[in-house]
Structures are given as structure tokens and as C-alpha cells.
């Protein structure tokens, strides 16, 4: 049985709007970051009562990845800088990953540094890339910002997930694929799914793809309790699916 669900938009060829049909086509290799930035700015301006939680909070236990230098900024009693957070499904860990790797060097005041570009799972590299593209510098990723060999550090961070995700300016959600090797479609090398466009007589037909909410609800991401919790704590979320980007805050939602 084939499960197909989505929307098709019909445009009359005699209508001037047909000239703008290209604006409805989602580029397979590039996320429309300009649209995302406009939406986020509207949220900041219009949803101050629901989404604009104070971001000048201090989380003294928090480590953050500096996306410009790939250095992991250690815990500090200073004001926590604005940052994004990544929510994703780890999946099965490879031997090199499970043995510690770059994160094992994070120990107390000792700072870590991520390996060279291209060395990490695709979803991690893509998250770093889109963070910079959106004009941000710092990113929180559990796998690299929590000392996986320090039980106390793990305990403090796990008991503070509501603060970590609730304080983040934006949460990037990897809602495509089954694990961290899939990446964020439209950001790195992973292409988005093909969007059919055709003409029959004077009518033009363009597939708008599956309803984003339905696609997200049936994704691997939504089967994990941890990721579901992370989404609930977040103020602004950017979902990366195989078809398009879907953004959601506590007051509104919109699709690419």
C-alpha cells in the first residue's frame, strides 16, 4: 500500500500569478534562509508576551560550540551569550564515536575543540553551518557540550533541559532521516525531495508536498521521548524535513 498525502495548487495559465510560479518551487539544495530570518524577526517583534523569554540568563554549567572557531566554550559565571540548540536522534553510535572522540577532552575547566570540518556526523556539521548562516555564533549540542565521562556533569545538564532549550533563541530540529548521519536537507549535501510541476492545457499544477505537520508527526524524531521533551521546552523551532522547512513558535507556525 502506498501512503500518499499532500496538496496540489492549480494556477490558470492566463492569470498573471503564473509568472510567479517559480516562487512556489522549493529549491532542493538550498533552504530559504531569507524567509526564515524574516519569520524569526516577526516573532521577536510581535510575540513578546509569549516567545520573548529573557535571554540574558546565566547558565554557569553550560558549554557552547563557537561555530566560527569550532572551539567548545567552557562553563562560565558570566552572562550566557545568545545561542541555538540542536534537537536530533543520535541513532547507533560507531566505534570511534562511542569511544569518546572529541568530547572526551571536555573535562571541567579544560576546553575542547571539535575536529576539522567534515569529520563529524552530517547533522552536526549542517547545524553548525546553518547557525552561522542565520547570523549566530554559538550552538549547543548535547553530544559535545556535555562531558559524557563525567556523571555529575551529565546529571546537571539532564536535569536542566528545560533551561537549556527554553533559553535557546532557536532550536534546530532534525526531523528527517533516522539518525545523525542523515543531515539537514537543504543545508549540506542532502537534497530535499523532488517537487513535481506540470501543465495540462491552460492549467499549471504544482505539488506543495505533504502537510509538514503530518510529516513531522510520523518522523523518527517524534518517536523519541527525549526529543519530544526538547521540542516542548523550545520557544522557536525550525524543523528540517525531507520536503521543506517548517517553523513554529509559541504563537504561530508557517511552512517554507
All structural domains of the chain with their residue ranges: 35-90+101-189+211-255
Residue 171 exposed, middle or buried by CB count within 10 Å (0-12, 13-18, 19+): buried
- Give whichever of 55-59, 115-119, 199-203 has the largest mean pLDDT: 115-119
Structure confidence by residue, pLDDT tens digits, 127-178 = 999 999 999 999 999 989 988 888 999 999 999 999 999 999 999 999 888 8
Picking from 20-24, 47-51, 227-231, which range would have the lowest pLDDT averaged per residue?
20-24
DSSP code at position 222: G
Would you state the pLDDT for residue 56?
59
SS3 category, 7: strand
- Pick the range with the lowest mean pLDDT from 15-24, 56-65, 166-175: 15-24
Other C-beta atoms lying within 10 Å of the C-beta of residue 81: 16
With bands split at pLDDT 50, 70 and 90, how would you rate the model's confidence at 96?
very low
Confidence of residue 256 (pLDDT cuts 50, 70, 90): confident
The residues near 104 (Cβ < 8 Å, ≥ 6 apart) are 148, 149
Give the pLDDT score at 181. Answer: 86
Highest-confidence segment of 49-53, 58-62, 67-71, 217-221: 67-71
pLDDT of residue 109: 32
Out of 44-48, 98-102, 160-164, give the one with best mean pLDDT.
160-164
Tell me the pLDDT band of 230, cut-offs 50, 70 and 90: confident
Please give the pLDDT value at position 253: 86
Percent of the chain surpassing pLDDT 90: 32
Query: What integer is the mean pLDDT of 17-27?
Result: 59
pLDDT reading at 201 higher than 60:
yes
Average pLDDT, the chain: 79
What single DSSP character describes residue 8?
E
Q: What is the dihedral of CA 165, 167, 168, 173, to 10 degrees?
A: 20
* Cβ atoms of residues 244 and 212 within 8 Å: yes
Query: Residue 171's pLDDT is what?
Result: 96
- Indicate the pLDDT class of residue 99, thresholds 50, 70 and 90: very low
pLDDT at residue 7 in the model: 55
Is there a contact between 183 and 241 (Cβ–Cβ < 8 Å)? no
pTM of the model: 0.80
pLDDT of residue 27: 80
Amino acid at each position: 500500500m502506498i501512503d500518499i498525502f499532500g496538496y496540489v495548487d492549480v494556477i490558470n495559465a492566463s492569470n498573471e500569478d503564473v509568472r510567479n510560479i517559480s516562487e512556489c518551487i522549493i529549491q532542493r539544495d538550498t533552504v530559504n534562509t531569507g524567509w526564515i530570518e524574516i519569520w524569526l524577526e516577526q516573532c521577536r517583534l510581535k510575540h513578546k508576551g509569549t516567545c520573548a523569554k529573557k535571554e540574558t540568563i546565566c547558565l554557569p554549567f553550560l558549554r557552547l560550540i563557537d561555530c566560527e572557531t569550532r572551539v567548545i566554550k567552557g562553563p562560565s559565571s558570566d552572562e550566557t551569550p545568545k545561542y541555538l540548540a540542536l534537537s536530533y536522534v543520535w541513532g547507533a553510535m560507531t566505534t570511534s564515536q562511542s569511544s569518546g572522540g572529541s568530547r572526551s577532552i571536555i573535562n571541567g575547566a579544560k576546553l575542547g575543540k571539535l575536529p576539522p570540518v567534515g569529520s563529524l556526523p552530517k547533522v552536526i556539521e549542517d547545524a553548525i553551518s546553518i547557525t552561522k548562516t542565520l547570523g549566530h555564533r554559538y550552538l549547543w549540542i548535547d553530544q559535545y557540550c556535555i562531558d559524557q565521562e563525567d556523571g555529575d556533569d551529565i546529571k546537571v545538564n539532564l536535569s536542566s533541559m528545560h533551561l537549556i532549550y527554553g533559553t535557546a533563541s532557536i532550536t534546530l530540529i532534525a526531523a528527517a532521516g533516522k539518525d545523525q548521519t542523515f543531515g539537514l536537507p537543504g543545508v549540506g549535501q542532502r537534497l530535499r525531495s523532488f517537487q513535481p510541476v506540470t501543465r495540462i492545457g491552460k492549467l499549471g499544477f504544482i505539488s506543495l508536498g505533504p502537510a509538514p505537520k503530518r510529516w513531522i508527526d510520523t518522523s523518527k524524531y517524534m518517536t523519541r521521548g527525549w526529543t519530544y521533551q526538547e521540542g516542548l521546552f523550545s520557544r522557536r523551532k525550525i524543523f528540517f524535513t525531507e520536503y521543506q522547512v517548517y517553523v513554529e513558535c509559541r504563537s504561530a507556525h508557517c511552512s517554507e
